Chain A
């Protein structure tokens, strides 16, 4: 059996195959572009934050009343937290990495306010901060306890003599030069010396392209609301959350324990939109492929039923079962190939539109052959069962009347 009778049969009945071709083409455009977006979102969520996210607890407290002594309260809270079995380290901090809320600033490598500063997230914590987040110091040293002072509310202390920066921020500031020991300048042109370089850590805003830029000042911020970072031994986090909530609550009635959350939950919340988009698109793709399979399978089996006599005649004239199956698969492949060709054009058009209108990254061309292959396999599977049923039509059917 050659191509010619098949093509002539396709041409005679052209509307049906044309519709399926169009369906495959649009399906391909949606599937490939969605798949590309999904993979990008998943890669974004799986970036290494440089933080021991799984074992960190974040505590938010707030004192009230005229006689509330914030320094005494913070000291007692931290002492209590560190005395709990299973707690590795604890610090008071101004903000929490990955949480979506934080403080940003601009730094310069030279004291000249006319040049544009390098944007970075800024944290302030004690000498236990690195340990409390499980952050790795690549070079230099951590803060010394003597460098860490209490910072009173509504006060802007002079620039600290020493700061830590991430390698990413160091690169933005100094390029290839070694940043260790160099001075960085704040907005008011005061300088701080870089005493340590953090290999890698994420700041507060997961959607910011400079997420890896972080500078850390030494200090224990005393605000009306205070935050603590607590790192636990692996596996003990969930057990410690309720313990911290009760024990801190009992310690001081002039201070509200607002929330005790895991950093994991806070980070998941920051990525909620990306996760949502990936899940919604996955559902769309799945439904779309199911619909394609059902339609192709449905139409094929309908055709098999309609062509029973024709198939029986062909079998009687010597066509083998293999011939029949191959004929159905070939017919499907012809339609798929036309759909893939048209679909490739549509895919690129949709990708271009997404890129221009929404600043999405340009489509990676490798998704195109991968998507075509996927749809080709799926549509072949869809047509296989009806084709097998066609092949089992006995030659004797040809002799029976309709």
Chain B
């Protein structure tokens, strides 16, 4: 027989043996399936949480922090080495002005009232990321129609807007709306672009307001903040008692509420950029601000994810417990297979007596456990899919976090076949040690 037909013959033998022992086979398959199902569910969530959301650029995009906090105590008493994770409005604006040709953006989340034309639809509120023109090329944002706005729109505070796909669907039925106008906050905005589905997971550019939220409904220029008196819907942190009685006073306050990202040409430029930040802070110290010791930092994307602990502890605990679960399943599988092979002593003796070599018996047993493992893996994948739907329902996660991607499917199949074979090695070895004569005697 050629190798291929031998394999086919072994698979046939395996299927026959599985059918002869339906209860034991069912139990074995179920044990593998449940183990794979549980561990794949938790592993998928963990994998997506800890994934690199922008692999091509994660080492050249940096989040910026400046230590403008109180001279009396650090921003985070538990981690005194850290600066506040957001900038004050005045520092963010100043850094953009000192860009020196680098791509960078200050940003925050706000919300605006959209007034649809006519009286039929009521005005409604929509979320907006208030940012700079550089946001779109920096973060590789994909566009469906049009594109981002020009840097000139940043300077002149032009009322332009880039719509998210969902909002474009609600307002314009999903058609190309570039050039259309929308009335928001009593002003007329021009649509310059519509972004395509964009779900970086985690949402690396703003882990502060949640690493796993949906992308904002729209994007508008940062320079409109002053014109429209836009408030942040995200968090703001302050330490200085300041009397604030106007929006301008708020913008000039020591409150930290602006997120800041810069793109460098290479990771090597990091220290140059830090020196640039230190120089800025040194200037500010002369004005009586930044009373703490120099403590400015930049974090690349993955460091920034680590900083904000975007992978929930619960997710790690679940991965750990579910892999112990998989261990239990493998142990059960070994016990079940061993028992089953003991029951097949007669059959194996006959095959050995008829000339089958130990190696052939061993191979045939391994094919059988691989088939069992593979079947268990398929059922396990189905279970994992159900598990992810359950997680989605329980945690109300955004779409990105519970996708069973190809990587995870292949991982699942690999793990199930591997654990099946691992579980089968010892029983198969035991099976091939069976003496041909010893068993035949008692028959």
Contact = CB atoms under 8 A, between A and B. Distances in A.
Nearest to B231: A224
B305 interface: no
Interface stretch (A81-89, A91-99, A163-171, A292-300): A292-300
A276 B321 contact: no
A20 interface: yes
Contact of B124 (A155, A256, A272, A276): A256
B394 interface: yes
B245 A154 contact: yes
B234 to A, nearest CB: 10
B321 A33 contact: yes
A275 interface: yes
Pick from B243, B324, B430 the residue with the most CB of A within 10 Å.
B324
A56 interface: no
B15 interface: no
B331 A19 contact: yes
B30 interface: yes
A58 interface: no
Contacts of B241: 186-189
Interface in B325-342: 325, 327-329, 331-332, 334-336, 338-339, 342
A298 B394 CA distance: 34
A273 B336 contact: no
Contacts of A359: 313
Given A256-B122, A256-B125, A298-B23, A276 B391 contact: yes
A50 interface: no
Nearest to B426: A15
Given A156-B243, A272-B396, A62 B113 contact: yes
Interface residues of A, number: 60
Contacts of B24: 298, 302
Pick from A16, A65, A280 the residue with the most CB of B within 10 Å.
A280
Contact of B331 (A26, A30, A188, A275): A26
B396 A299 contact: no
Contacts of B334: 19
B125 A62 contact: yes
Nearest to B430: A15
B39 to A, nearest CB: 10
A111 B197 CA distance: 54
A43 to B, nearest CB: 16
Given A272-B394, A291-B34, A66 B332 contact: no
Contacts of A283: 390
Given A33-B321, A154-B244, A64 B123 contact: yes
Contacts of B246: 154
Contacts of B324: 26, 29-30, 350
Contact of A291 (B185, B328, B394): B328
Contact of B336 (A116, A156, A295): A295
Contacts of A64: 113, 115, 123, 185-186
A306 interface: yes
B336 A298 contact: yes
B332 A276 contact: no
B34 to A, nearest CB: 5
A30 B396 CA distance: 26
A150 to B, nearest CB: 15
Contact of B317 (A22, A275, A306, A354): A354
A358 B313 contact: yes
Nearest to A187: B241
Contacts of A354: 317
Contacts of A299: 335-336, 339
Given A156-B243, A287-B38, A116 B73 contact: yes
Pick from B245, B316, B339 the residue with the most CB of A within 10 Å.
B339
A157 B263 CA distance: 41
Interface string B23-46: 110010011001000100000000
Contacts of A23: 328, 331-332, 335
A154 B248 CA distance: 9
Contact of B245 (A15, A156, A281, A284): A156
24 contacts: A15-B338, A26-B328, A27-B328, A30-B324, A30-B325, A33-B321, A37-B317, A64-B185, A65-B186, A154-B245, A156-B243, A188-B243, A280-B394, A287-B34, A287-B38, A287-B325, A291-B332, A294-B27, A294-B30, A298-B24, A299-B336, A303-B339, A353-B320, A360-B317
* Leading 9 A-B pairs by shortest Cβ distance: A188-B241, A19-B335, A276-B394, A64-B113, A187-B241, A23-B331, A358-B313, A295-B332, A156-B244
Interface of B: 23-24, 27, 30-31, 34, 38, 72-73, 77, 113, 115, 122-125, 185-186, 231, 239-247, 249-250, 312-314, 316-318, 320-322, 324-325, 327-329, 331-332, 334-336, 338-339, 342-343, 390-391, 394-396, 426, 430, 442
